Amino acid sequence: MAVPPDLQQRAENLRAQIAHHNRRYYELDAPEISDADYDTLVRELQAIEAEHPEIAEESPTQQVGGAAAVAFAPVEHRVPMTSLDNAMDESELGAWSERVAKGLAGAAARFVCELKIDGLAISLRYESGRLVQAATRGDGRVGEDVTANVATIAAIPKTLHGANLPEVIEVRGEVYMSLASFRALNERVAAGTEIEGDGKPRKELFVNPRNAAAGSLRQKTPSVTAQRELSFWSYQLGEVLGGPSFTRHSETLEFIGAIGFPVNPEIAVVTDLEAAAAYCRRWQEHRHDLGYDIDGAVVKVDDLAQRELLGFTAKAPRWAIAYKFPPEERNTVLRDIQVSIGRTGRATPFAVLEPVFVGGSTVSMATLHNEDQVRLKDVRPGDTVVVRKAGDVIPEVVGPVLSLRPESSQPWQFPVTCSCPLQSALVRMEGESDTRCVESSCPYQRDQRIIYFASRGAMDIEGLGERTVFQLSDAGLVSDPADIYSLTTEQLLTLEGFAQISADKLVASIAATKVRPLPRLLTALGIKHLGPSAAEALSKAFGNLDAIMGASEADLATTEGVGGVIAASICRWFAEPVNRAMVEKLRSAGVEFGRVEVSRLPQLLAGKAVVVTGTLQGFTRDEAEAAIKDRGGKSPGSVSAKTFAVVVGDDPGASKLTKAQDLGVPILGLDGFLHLLETGDLPQP
C-alpha cells in the first residue's frame, strides 16, 4: 500500500525534528523541548512507521542516543549500549509482559525492578581491577572518552577489591547530580562564584539536575567536573572476561555491589507483573522522597538465559522496559509577567502561561520567586520556557529555551509602583531579596491578610475562601480580619452566590473560631517570620496574647525556637497602632486570647525528637505527631543525628527511612510506637 504523500511528509518532518532534538540533548546538553514533548514526537513517528514499515529504515526510532561529541576521543563499545523501549501506563506495561511471555513460550519469569535515574548513562571498564576507561553511551556503538572526568567522581571506585575479580569487567550505570548538589551549584551560579572551564563565571542557571550532570561530565577541565559533586548508581554488566558466572541479573547486582560499586537500595526482585506494576505505582507516588531525580522505573527479566531467548530489537532489549512517569516538565509560551502583592506587601512576580498539562494538572500560571530570579533566569514575555510542577509543589518557570527566543525580545523590568488603586511605591530594602509595597493600607495586602487569617493553618474558617474574601472586600464589608466577626446573615445575602443556608452556615463557622487555641490565633495575625512552631512555643511560655504583646524583645527572644529575628518582628508588629486597634476589635468580638491547651499526660518524651513517616493504623499523621507533642516530645519533619526514633508506617518516605538507617537511628513500627507512647522508652529487642 502506497504511503499517502501527506503522511510521508509528516514522517520526514518528524524525523528532522527528532534528529535536531537528539543533537541538542545528547551532543550539546542544551535541549529545546521537555522529555515529554520529545516522547510525543517519537511516538507519533513510531505509529506512522508501524502502519508503513517500508519507510522505517534509517529512522531515528531505530537509533540509540546521539553521535559522540568531537571534543572527546571516540570509544567503540565492545557490547553495544542500547536504550530501552517505553511504557507510558500499566496497559503498555502489561502488553510488554505479554510479549515476554510469548517469547518464552509461556514460561514464568520473575523481574528485577529498578528506579530510572534521570542522569547520563556511562560505561566503566576495569582491567586487572583498575579503572582504565570511562565512556558515554553516544549512539550506542560509539561513545565519548570521559575517563579523566569520571576519575573525579568519588562514588566511582578507581580500584576494585574482592575475590575472583574478572580480568576485564565493564560496569554500566548512571551518573547523576543529587538535588542538594544541584541547589548548591545554582546558588554558586547566582552568587557569581561558579567558574567554568574557560576561567569565567557561569552566568546562566542550570535548568535541571540531568542537564547539569551531563554538562559537568563533558567539561574539558576535570577540575570543574570535580567541584560539581556528581554521583553514580551502577545497574548492569557489559563485557566480562573471567571471574564468576551468573544465572540471574540480581546476582550480578550483588556482585558489583560487593566489589565496590554503589547499587541503588530501592531495587526489588518480584515474582509477577502485578508486583512490578505495584513497584512502579509506589515510586510514582513517592518519587519526591528521594534525594535525586527519577523519571520512571525499569522492569527487567531476571533470568539471564531467558534474556538470551528474548534477544533485542534494532535499538532495545526485549527483556526490559522503562515505565515512564507522567511528565513534571513541559515547554510552553510565557505570555506575560505580572506581580502579585502578599499580606506583608511582598511583591512576587509570576508568569502567565499558555496553558500546559504538566505534573497531573493544567498549569496557566507559575511562580518566578523574586526580582533577582527573573533577572538571573532572564525569562521574557514571548519566550518558550520550561515549566516544572512536581507533585503538590507550586508550578515554577525553570528557564527559557534561548534558541527559540524571538529576535524582538527585550528584558523584563520589575515595576516601581504597586498595581493597586493607591499606586504606592514598590521598594527593595538594602540586603533583602524581596521587593515590597510600602503602603500598609494597600487593598491587595488587606485582602491577603484576611485570606491568611481564615486559612486552614491559622483560624481555619470553613467557607471563607479567597473568592468570598474578595466579594466582602469589594462590598466594603471587611477592612481587616477582625471585621469578619461582625458579619451578619443579612449582609452575606447581598453577595452573589449566597442563599439563606450558606449565609447562616458561614456566620456559624466564623463564630465557632472564637475559641481557637492561642497558637492558631497568634499564627493567624500574619506577623512576619512567625510560624506555627514559634507561635506554639510562645503560647506555652506566656499563656495569653496580652502577655505576649507586653513582653520585651529580649523576653520573647529567650523562648526556645523564637530567637532575635522573630522577637523583633513581633515587637514591631504590635507597635503599629493599626495592628493594636485590630487586636482590640478581636477582643470586643469575643475572640479568646488565652486558650492554651496543656496536656495532662506524663511528659515521657520531654526533650526527645520522634519523626513519623508513612501511615499508621489508628492514627492520622497529625494525630501521631500530636501524641508525641502531648507527651513533651518534638516531631520534626526530617531525620538527624539527634533524632530519638523514627516511626514507620505504610508507604514511608524512602529518604527518611534511608537516613535513619545510615545514622543508626532506631526504627519503630506501630507496636513500638505504642510502647514508646506508654513508657517513653524504646522497646527492648
**Between 256 and 288, the higher pLDDT residue:** 256
Q: Compute the distance between CA of residue 345 and CA of residue 581 in angstroms, rounded to an integer.
A: 20
**Between 58 and 40, the higher pLDDT residue:** 40
What is the rounded average pLDDT of the residues 611-615? 87
What is the rounded average pLDDT of the residues 360-369? 88
What is the rounded average pLDDT of the residues 283-302? 92
Q: Compute the distance between CA of residue 91 and CA of residue 9 in angstroms, rounded to an integer.
A: 31
Q: What is the mean pLDDT of the chain?
A: 90
pLDDT at 638: 82
What is the rounded average pLDDT of the residues 392-408? 86
What is the rounded average pLDDT of the residues 232-247? 95
pLDDT at 58: 64
| pLDDT-derived band at 573, boundaries 50, 70, 90 | very high
pLDDT at 150: 94
| pLDDT-derived band at 13, boundaries 50, 70, 90 | confident
| Identity of the amino acid at 189 | V
**Between 599 and 71, the higher pLDDT residue:** 599
| pLDDT-derived band at 288, boundaries 50, 70, 90 | confident
Question: Is the CB of residue 236 less than 8 Å from the CB of residue 302?
Answer: no
What is the rounded average pLDDT of the residues 551-580? 94
Q: Domain 74-324: which topology?
A: D-amino Acid Aminotransferase; Chain A, domain 1 (3.30.470)
What is the rounded average pLDDT of the residues 432-455? 91
Number of neighbouring beta carbons within 10 Å of residue 336: 11
Say which range, 325-339, 450-464, 657-671, has the weakest mean pLDDT.
657-671
pLDDT at 65: 55
Long-range pairs for 18-26: beta carbons < 8 A, 24 or more residues apart:
18/42, 18/45, 18/60, 18/61, 19/60, 22/60, 22/63, 22/65, 22/66, 23/66, 23/67, 24/403, 25/66, 26/65, 26/66, 26/67, 26/138
Residues 6+ apart with CB under 8 A from 198: none
Whether pLDDT at 577 is above 50: yes
- CATH architecture of the domain with residue range 610-679: 3-Layer(aba) Sandwich (3.40)
Of how many residues is the chain composed? 685
**Between 38 and 259, the higher pLDDT residue:** 259
pLDDT at 95: 96
Say which range, 68-72, 231-235, 490-494, 625-629, has the weakest mean pLDDT.
68-72
Q: Compute the distance between CA of residue 124 and CA of residue 237 in angstroms, rounded to an integer.
A: 10
Q: Compute the distance between CA of residue 472 and CA of residue 313 in angstroms, rounded to an integer.
A: 65
Q: Which three cell numbers, joined as nine digits, stand for 26? A: 545528547
Domain boundaries, the chain: 5-62, 74-324, 329-427, 443-588, 610-679
Hey, what CATH class is 329-427 in?
mainly beta
**Between 256 and 52, the higher pLDDT residue:** 256
Q: Compute the distance between CA of residue 135 and CA of residue 118 in angstroms, rounded to an integer.
A: 18
Angle, helix 179-191 to helix 209-217, in steps of 10 degrees:
80
Count H helices and E strands in the chain, helices first: 24, 21
pLDDT at 120: 93
The CATH number of domain 443-588, selected from 1.10.8.60, 3.30.70.1050, 1.10.150.20, 2.40.128.50: 1.10.150.20
Q: Give the start-end residues of each E strand in 161-229.
A: 168-177
DSSP string, 495-525: STT--HHHHHHHHHHHHHGGG--HHHHHHHT
Which amino acids are annotated catalytic?
Answer: 116
What is the rounded average pLDDT of the residues 286-290? 87
| pLDDT-derived band at 127, boundaries 50, 70, 90 | very high
Q: Compute the distance between CA of residue 39 and CA of residue 86 in angstroms, rounded to an integer.
A: 9
Question: Is the CB of residue 553 less than 8 Å from the CB of residue 369?
Answer: no
pLDDT at 440: 80
Whether pLDDT at 631 is above 50: yes
Question: Is the CB of residue 233 less than 8 Å from the CB of residue 174?
Answer: yes
pLDDT tens-digit series, residues 174-214: 999 999 999 999 889 988 899 887 788 988 888 889 989 99
Q: Compute the distance between CA of residue 272 and CA of residue 283 in angstroms, rounded to an integer.
A: 17
CATH number for the region 5-62 comes to 1.10.287.610
- Angle value at C-alpha 43, between 28 and 301, nearest 5 degrees: 90
pLDDT at 70: 47
| pLDDT-derived band at 217, boundaries 50, 70, 90 | very high
Whether pLDDT at 411 is above 70: yes
Q: What φ, ψ does residue 137 adopt, rounded to 5°?
A: -70, -40
Q: Compute the distance between CA of residue 27 and CA of residue 127 in angstroms, rounded to an integer.
A: 28
Q: Compute the distance between CA of residue 165 and CA of residue 244 in angstroms, rounded to an integer.
A: 8
pLDDT tens-digit series, residues 532-552: 888 988 998 999 999 999 999
Torsion of CA 505, 507, 510, 512, to 10 degrees: -70
Whether pLDDT at 492 is above 90: yes
